[in-house]
Each structure stands twice: as C-alpha cells, then as structure tokens.
A and B are shown apart, each in its own frame.
Chain A
Amino acid sequence: MNNIQDVSVVLSQILSQIMPSYPAEFWQADTALFGAIAEFDSMSIVNLIGEIEDGFDIVIADEDIEAEHFSTVASLAELVLGLVQANTSES
C-alpha cells in the first residue's frame, strides 16, 4: 500500500467500524475528524490508533498524537502513509 488513496480507503473502513453509527459513505478523504465529530473522543482516538497500528503493522509515536494529524481522514492518511513507507525502506 503506497498511495494516499488506498490508505484513505482503509482508514475509512476502520473509522466505519469504530463509529458504526455513521454510514460507510460518510467517511471520505475530506471528512473532518478531530473537533468536528462528537463521538471522536479520546477513547475513539486511542482505539483508532490501535486499529491502525494492528492493520498497517506500524507504530505511531507519541509525538504524532497531535490534533493536526487527526484533523481529517486525509491528514491521518498522510501520517500513516509516511510511517508505512518508512517501515518499507527500513526492511
């Protein structure tokens, strides 16, 4: 998985699983997350991080748990893609 669209699609699936009260089509690249969705609380963020780490086999550093990375699906996808690519180049 090496492009932002593919990562966004997987992230949308994960978000849909964590917050099933929203229809699947709600989750698009430009969907605003942090500060825009009431259910996107600290527990959801941590669940999301856990699912992302498990699904992409990456580790999100504590320094990356910042509002800017969690502002939209696309901004989160950029963070994840960067970590996936860093992982790939290391191995």
Chain B
Amino acid sequence: MIVCKAEFWSGPNGLLFRLIRRPKHIRAHVLYVAPLFEEANRTRHVFTRSALAVYNFGYQSYIYDPIGTGDSQGTLAEVSLAMWQQELLAQIIDIKSSSQLPIVLCVAASGALLLTAEIVNAVTGMQLWHPEFDGGKFVRQFKRLALAQDMMKPEKSQQSLTQPYADIVGYTMKNQLLVDLAHQSISHLFTNITRLITKVVWFELYHQQHEPLALVRKKQQDQFTSYYNQLQIEDLIDNKPWQANELLEAKALIVATSHCLAELLDD
C-alpha cells in the first residue's frame, strides 16, 4: 500500500500544504513544481499519477501548493515571485539537510518561470514538462483569460498596470507579480549560472505524429541548448498535463518520466 502523508510544512513565508509519498526504501526525492494559476489545478491529477508511478522505484515525492494558493497559507494578493522561488529553494535545502540522496525537480509548463540559477544547480536532475520559459508570452496569455471572459459579458472589465492589484478571472494579485513573471526568460535564468551541474530532460509534447515543432518552441529549445549543450530533448505524443484528466490521460508523459527517473538511479 502506498503511504501518503499530508502536512503543513513551515516554509520561509508561511505554511505550505504538501502531499508526501514515502516508500519504505527511499532511493531519491522528486519535487513537483506546478504551473501557475489556472493550469496548476488542472495538472494536479498528472502529478499524482506520476508520483504513484515512481513510488515503486523508491522515489519519495513532494507535491505542494505554493504560498497563497490551494491549501497553503496566505492569499495570492500577498505573493511575490521571490516568495515562490524562496520556498522552492527552501524545500530543496530542507531535503538536503537530512538526505544525501538525489533530488529531482519535475517542472510543468509555466512552473519553469519559478526557476533560478540557485534552484537549478541545487538539484541532481530536472525534468521539464513542455516548459514555458517565455514570461512575457505567459503573462500575455494569462491576461487574455480576462479578455476571453469579457467576451461572455455585456460589460468589459478595466485592467491597468498602474493599479497595484490585478484581478484576472477571479485571481487577485499584485501587478508586480505579473511584471516580474514577464521578465523571466531562459537568458535571465542562465545569467548567474557558469556551469550547469544538473541533468536536464526536456519533454516536448505533440498532439500527433509528424506535427512540426512550432517556431516559438524551437526558439526556446535552441536558446536553452546554447547555454547547456547536454540538454536531452524527448518528443512525446501526448496530452498536455494541464489538459489531461481521468478520461484524457497523459500516459506517455508519465511513462517517459518514470523511465528517466529510473535511469537516473542507475547512473
């Protein structure tokens, strides 16, 4: 039987709700980093499936709600990007303080915008699930949620970056959070990394076979590779994790993730 423990972990900015699955013989740790906002809830199901799949290899898994979201302490309106980055790093340091075993991050989509040089080089491996490193594009898309919702309403909502807070599809947050996220990019991530010591696998998801890689995705991959030529890119035909559900599974991604995590233990 799989042992799953729910806890409130005392992070640098408040209590984080975490689900920890701890096998009897732990061989490594995997920490799941969710995408931001709406996609976070939709990805939870795939994180759970992946955590269950790697449990038998001896991976202790951590799935958490960032501060100000889900069941963790605080509200989104109080959150800054730095707080989310601090708590991610703090969890890695906390695991390291009591274990010498490898630590791997599984980062989904816009969760990549939380990565810093310090975080990346603190872990043994990193699996990127169709990552979004273009903060500007992400924020543009997020704001479009409000525009798309306005299409359904007779009156348009007014949003301005000069106001301290933004209200987008029910999420109230500091405008500064969006400004900071918009500044995130691959070049920004690698600014302070002189040597990447982390093994990185990039899973690019396609809807169907022979689908061409979109130009904007290729640019991101090329840019990452220009900083880190050991990048392993794996193309998968599968549903995006945030579009998957009980009926629409992301099976190929879960299998590939498990395979790579198992390989890491053999290295």
A contacts, CB < 8 Å to B: 17-18, 20, 34, 41-43, 45-47, 49-50, 53-55, 57, 62, 65-67, 70
Contact = CB atoms under 8 A, between A and B. Distances in A.
Contacts of A20: 239, 248
A41 B141 CA distance: 14
B214 to A, nearest CB: 4
B147 A54 contact: no
B3 interface: no
Given A42-B169, A54-B215, A54-B217, A17 B207 contact: yes
B262 to A, nearest CB: 30
Interface residues of B, number: 20
A67 B156 CA distance: 12
Given A17-B207, A20-B248, A42 B148 contact: yes
B38 interface: yes
Contacts, number: 47
A46 B149 CA distance: 10
B136 to A, nearest CB: 11
A17 B243 CA distance: 10
**What secondary structure prevails in chain B residues at the interface with A?**
helix
Interface string B138-151: 00010111011101
Contacts of A46: 141, 144-145, 148
A70 B248 CA distance: 25
A57 to B, nearest CB: 5
A15 to B, nearest CB: 11
B98 interface: no
Nearest to A48: B148
A6 B153 CA distance: 32
B144 A65 contact: yes
Nearest to A42: B148
B1 interface: no
Given A17-B207, A20-B248, A42-B169, A49 B144 contact: yes
A17 B248 CA distance: 12
B213 to A, nearest CB: 9
8 A-B pairs closest in CB distance: A54-B214, A42-B148, A17-B207, A45-B148, A42-B149, A65-B147, A67-B151, A46-B144
B216 interface: yes
B141 A49 contact: yes
Contacts of A67: 151
Given A17-B207, A17-B208, A46-B145, A70 B151 contact: yes
A55 B151 contact: no
A34 B149 CA distance: 11
A34 to B, nearest CB: 7
A20 B238 CA distance: 12
Interface in B139-189: 141, 143-145, 147-149, 151-152, 169
Nearest to B239: A20
Nearest to B151: A67
A49 B207 CA distance: 16
